[in-house]
Amino acid sequence: MKGSTTGSIRAHAVFFRLFQLTTFAGFWIVSHAATGATYVDNSGVAACSDSPGNGSTSNPWCTVAYGISRIGSGETLYVKNGTYNESFTIKGPAGTPAAHTIISAYPGHVPVLRGSGFNSGRIKITGTSYIDFSGFVITNHNQGLYIDDDGGTGTPPNHITVTDVTVHDVGQEGVAIRGGTTNILLDRVTVYNTGRNGTSTNGEGIYIGGGNAPDNTSTITVRNSTIHDTQDEGIELKGGTHDCVIEGNTLYSNLSPGSAYSSGGGAIEINNPSGTYGSNPNHLIRNNVIHDIEFTSGITKYGIRIGTGATVYNNVLYNINSAYKAIYSNQADYARLVYHNTIDASSSLAVVNFGTRLDCRNNIGPSTATNAAINSAFFINYAAHDYRLAAGAAVIHAGVDLRSVVPLDFAGQTRDSFPDEGAFEHVSAPPSRTHKSTDRVIARPTSGTGGPIQFARCLLPFLSSRTAKPR
């Protein structure tokens, strides 16, 4: 199974404990308590009716759209198991920083929002703020989830959190965030089987920017998500977007098969500057796993393409077809920092620069100075794509000090002034530890400069506690 070796990489990653909760993009990433909860349930367990007096567990509403129309700011709408044949737009009610409006699957339930076919409809969020949207499956629409300015109304949505949502089998894009939208978090989102209308239409997994020009959609974070089997790019950052963070995701079988829209794109694609944002976009691409980018005749593909200013570190790339470059930097404008990645590809294709201000150091993959060409002897289990470093590997202590940009490795280990090359610092075998199912990651950049990063991390499930790096 293509995703199985990715699980090995992440299951052995060691995230260390910090006890300080930080904010991201101006809002707290916390759970908001359900107050004033109301219910939608079309299962027939309780008789439902879309009438004002309903909304309780014993007398629920029948449709999600009606339920949304009845709740107030800061209230919670729970949706129970069932298939809801609906396409709707969420225009509110807006929450507040202290009390988000919550539209969520009932705990333990997975309601399905099913459209009428690949040629029509979507779930849209527009003209509102402080909305948490969680726990749904979206399928059989033209597009899956749109967070958009709704055609240039001047009221783009902001401070929207989307968690534990799956989008699959849609006609075009899985998720689109555009139209000047700001401060959006996608966490634990799964997207697959996009572009079902065929290669004459779009089929990106997550599409950021590209709405009505100028589109300076910004401060978007995509985290802990899985994007696979997408017709076009897995995650695409359009020109004009800025200060976006793509971290901790797994991408595979993207650009599969690819199309005229995506040829020349990457599984993670940072588009060329569009002229609608006059400063360094400062995108941050870190701690992602990208694999199994397969060959399609006539289509050019990359693992990561960097078309403007960005910082790219602690990523792991493997099984990128040998016809393609793993990381490709082109379009000369702002500087690109490519540090501490592990790229299992031939040295000539691992990191390729075409006329840009590229600073490429401490990577495993390229054979240029301050990098090291791939060597199976470096790793604990190369055949299984376990790229943690083996004892005695020549890349241990071989790097230069880049802690001002990369203070931690892929697994959350602290780097020191003599760092190891690649995404992982070498550690001795960690002790076993029992983990809670609620363990999760919270992280944010302190600024949009691609400079020092501060993390607040709780340990992920099944990962081991921190062990000091031996010297």
Query: What type of residue is 330?
Result: N
Kindly report, residue by residue over 339-374, the tens digit of the pLDDT: 999 999 999 999 999 999 999 999 999 999 999 999
Q: In this predicted structure, what is the pLDDT of residue 244?
A: 98
Assign domain 4-30+115-457 to a CATH class: mainly beta
40 in helix, strand or coil? strand
Please tell me the least confidently modeled range out of 169-183, 242-256, 392-406, 454-468.
454-468
CA 23 – CA 35 distance, rounded (Å): 23
Q: List the single range of 178-192, 205-219, 358-372, 437-451 with lowest mean pLDDT.
A: 437-451
With contact defined as beta carbons under 8 Å apart, do 395 and 372 qualify? yes
Report d(CA 455, CA 422) in Å as an integer.
20
pLDDT tens digits, one per residue of 5-24: 566 565 545 333 232 233 33
What is the pLDDT at residue 429?
A: 60
Are 134 and 166 within 8 A, CB to CB?
Answer: no
Q: Determine the pLDDT at residue 435.
A: 31
- Least confident segment among 51-65, 140-154, 358-372, 382-396: 140-154
Residue whose structure tokens are 């920017």 = 209
Q: Tell me: pLDDT of 48 over 90.
A: yes
Model confidence at 272, pLDDT cuts 50, 70, 90, reads confident
Of 1, 30, 8, 107, whose CA–CA distance to 462 is shortest?
8
Q: In sequence order, what are the residues at sequence separation of 6 or more whose Cβ sits closer than 8 angstroms to the Cβ of residue 109?
A: 79, 80, 81, 135
Examine the pLDDT at 165 and tell me if it is beyond 80: yes
Eight-class DSSP state of 377 = G
pLDDT band, residue 154 (cuts 50/70/90): confident
> Coil, strand, or helix at residue 10?
helix
Distance CA 410, CA 13 (A): 7
**What span, in angstroms and rounded, lies between the C-alpha atoms of 388 and 396?**
11
Q: How many CB atoms lie within 10 A of CB 30?
A: 11
Tokens encoding 383:
């055949």
Nearest to 136 by CA among 81, 90, 206: 81
pLDDT reading at 276 higher than 90: no
Percent of the chain at pLDDT > 70 equals: 82
Which sign does the torsion angle of CA 358, 360, 365, 368 carry?
positive
| Torsion (CA) 373, 376, 382, 387 in degrees, nearest 10 | -40
Q: How far is residue 254's CA from residue 261's CA, in Å, rounded to a whole number?
A: 13
Q: Quick check: 138 and 170 in contact, CB under 8 A?
A: yes
Average per-residue pLDDT for the chain = 86
Question: pLDDT confidence of 193, banded at 50, 70, 90?
Answer: very high
DSSP state of 85: -
Contact 72, 36 (CB under 8 A): yes
Residue 127 reports pLDDT greater than 90: yes
Residue 414 is classified by DSSP as B
- For the stretch 24-37, pLDDT in tens is 333 333 334 445 79
DSSP helix/strand/coil, 11: helix
List the domain boundaries for the chain. Answer: 4-30+115-457
Which band of pLDDT confidence, cut at 50, 70 and 90, is reported for residue 211?
Answer: low
What single DSSP character describes residue 86? -
Cβ atoms of 87 and 114 closer than 8 Å: no
In the prediction, which pLDDT does 57 show?
Answer: 96
DSSP 106: P
Q: Per the structure block, which two tokens stand in for 276? A: 């609608």
Question: What tokens appear for 148 in the block?
Answer: 């958009």
What digits encode the pLDDT tens for the residues 304-330? Answer: 999 999 999 999 999 999 999 999 999
Three-state DSSP at 348 gives helix
Residue 261's pLDDT is: 83
Contact 80, 43 (CB under 8 A): yes
DSSP SS3 for 152: coil
- DSSP state letters, 51-68: STT--SSSS-BS-HHHHH
Q: What angle do CA 171, 317, 375 make, to 5 degrees?
A: 155
Count of H-run helices and E-run strands, the chain: 3, 40
CA distance 107 to 85: 21
The amino acid present at 205, given as its one-letter code, is: G
What is the model's pLDDT at position 436?
Answer: 34
